[in-house]
Amino acid sequence: EVQLVESGGGLVQPGRSLKLSCAASGFTFSDYYMAWVRQAPTKGLEWVASISYDGGSTYYRDSVKGRFTISRDNAKSSLYLQMDSLRSEDTATYYCVRLGDYWGQGVMVTVSS
């Protein structure tokens, strides 16, 4: 059974940093592109970043480029999202997603003073 379990969310002040993690199991992690997708409270879905099988290629939406870094550790079957210079508009539930098919349960990030 495919499982994606996010962790690392919480309340953080604007301008500070937070790192999200996603532990994957039930499939060969290194065989899949992975992504982070977010959902602001009561809003729709927004793709944030993606990473290739070996981490050699990464992709970001414009609003997070230069502030967020997606990475992976295939040996640990884990996906990460380092979020720096956080803004109030980054407040959302962040989902770890496998190639658009399986989603984690999500982790809440609140950016507020």
Partner 1 sequence: DVLMTQTPVSLPVSLGGQVSISCRSSQSLVHSDGNTYLHWYLQKPGQSPQLLIYRVSNRFSGVPDRFSGSGSGTDFTLKISRVEPEDLGVYYCLQSTHFPDTFGAGTKLELK
d(CA 12, CA 43) in angstroms, rounded, equals 20
Cα of 17 vs its chain's centroid, Å = 14
Q: Which stretch binds partner 1 (CB under 8 A): 11-19, 23-31, 41-49, 67-75?
A: 41-49
DSSP conformational letter for 26: S
Please tell me whether residue 41 binds partner 1 under the rule CB under 8 A: no
Residue 28 and residue 19 in contact, taking contact as beta carbons nearer than 8 Å: no
Nearer to partner 1, 1 or 13 (CB): 1
Please identify which residue in 67, 69, 71, 102 interacts with partner 1, judged by CB under 8 A: 102
Applying CB under 8 A, the residues found at the interface with partner 1 are 35, 44-47, 50, 59, 61, 95, 100-106
